[in-house]
């Protein structure tokens, strides 16, 4: 059994069958297989490092919010429910629609991803693909528009396509000091993400 590669596998199979060798293919590694681990060992509320989806609790409302967190889903959910600046809270207050309970089907884990950069890229991909109405931005890692067709295509994304689509990242760290009132000096650290085109 060998990995299937579009454009190469078909001619290879025909050639091998001519000499009497039967060839079988298996699906290649997909982005979902690489980044997601669907078998969570923790209960939904205690799961950490994830991309999540919260849909409006009203039956006739399709609005939703997609986000990511390194904390537990329970902790992040509480932020959305109690914080008056949260898009989910604001939607509930503006429309009178209920906020779903954590254990409801409207609150889902889309993907478990421990690596922070991978999780943020995954969040950006889900936001780009589903265009949730309650999100105020495109996530912490905005996926460029030239990948719309790739992200919105049916089926899983192939790893080779994704490797080409994710720019290499470098982080620049800078320090500066400020003199505060009372003679205290505060040193601040800045992190700047430098993108390099693939």
Pairing of strands 48-55, 25-26: unpaired
Domain segments of the chain as ranges: 30-155
Looking at residue 62, its pLDDT comes to 92
Tell me the C-alpha distance between 131 and 154, whole Å. 15
Q: What is the pLDDT of residue 106?
A: 92
What is the maximum alpha-carbon separation in the chain?
86
Angstrom distance (rounded) from CA 138 to CA 128: 7
With helix as H, strand as E and coil as C, how does the chain read? CEECCCCCHHHHHHHHHHCCCCCCEECCCEHHHHHCCCCCCCCHHHCEEEEEEEECCCCCCCCEEEEEEEEEHHHHHHHHHHCCCCHHHHHHHHHCCCCCCCCCCCEEEEEECCCHHHHHHHHHHHHHHHCCCCCCCCCCCCCCHHHHHHHHCCCCCEHHHHHHHCCEEEEEEEEEEEECCCCCEEEEEEEEEEEECC
CA-based radius of gyration for the chain: 22
Q: What is the pLDDT along the chain (198 residues), one digit of tens a residue?
A: 666 667 777 777 787 788 777 777 777 666 666 666 655 456 788 889 999 999 999 989 999 999 999 999 999 999 999 998 999 999 999 999 999 999 888 999 988 888 888 888 888 888 888 889 999 988 888 777 777 766 666 444 443 454 445 554 444 555 556 666 666 655 555 545 444 444
Backbone φ and ψ for 79, nearest 5 degrees, come out as -60, -45
The confidence score (pLDDT) of residue 181 equals 64
Nearest alpha-carbon partner for 119 in 38, 49, 39, 191: 49
Q: Which residues pair with 171 in a beta bridge?
A: 193
Q: What are phi and psi of 110, to 5 degrees?
A: -80, -35
Distance in angstroms (rounded) separating the CA atoms of residues 60 and 79: 25
Distance CA 127, CA 151 (A): 10
pTM for this entry: 0.59
């Amino acid at each position: 059994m060998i990995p299937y590669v579009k454009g190469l596998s078909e001619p290879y199979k025909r050639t091998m069958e001519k000499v009497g060798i039967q060839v079988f293919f298996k699906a290649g590694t997909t982005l979902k297989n690489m980044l997601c681990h669907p078998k969570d060992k923790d209960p939904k509320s205690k799961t950490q490092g994830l991309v999540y989806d919260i849909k409006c609790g009203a039956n006739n409302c399709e609005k939703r919010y997609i986000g990511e967190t390194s904390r537990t889903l329970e902790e992040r959910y509480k932020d959305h429910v109690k914080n008056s600046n949260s898009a989910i809270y604001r939607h509930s207050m503006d429309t009178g629609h209920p906020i779903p309970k954590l254990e409801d089907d409207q609150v889902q884990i889309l993907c478990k991803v421990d690596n922070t950069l991978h999780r943020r890229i995954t969040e950006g991909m889900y936001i780009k693909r589903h265009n949730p109405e309650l999100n105020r931005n495109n996530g912490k890692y905005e996926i460029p528009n030239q990948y719309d067709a790739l992200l919105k295509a049916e089926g899983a994304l192939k790893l080779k396509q994704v490797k080409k689509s994710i720019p290499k990242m470098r982080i620049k760290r800078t320090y500066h000091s400020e003199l505060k009132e009372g003679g205290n000096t505060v040193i601040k650290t800045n992190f700047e993400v430098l993108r390099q085109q693939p």
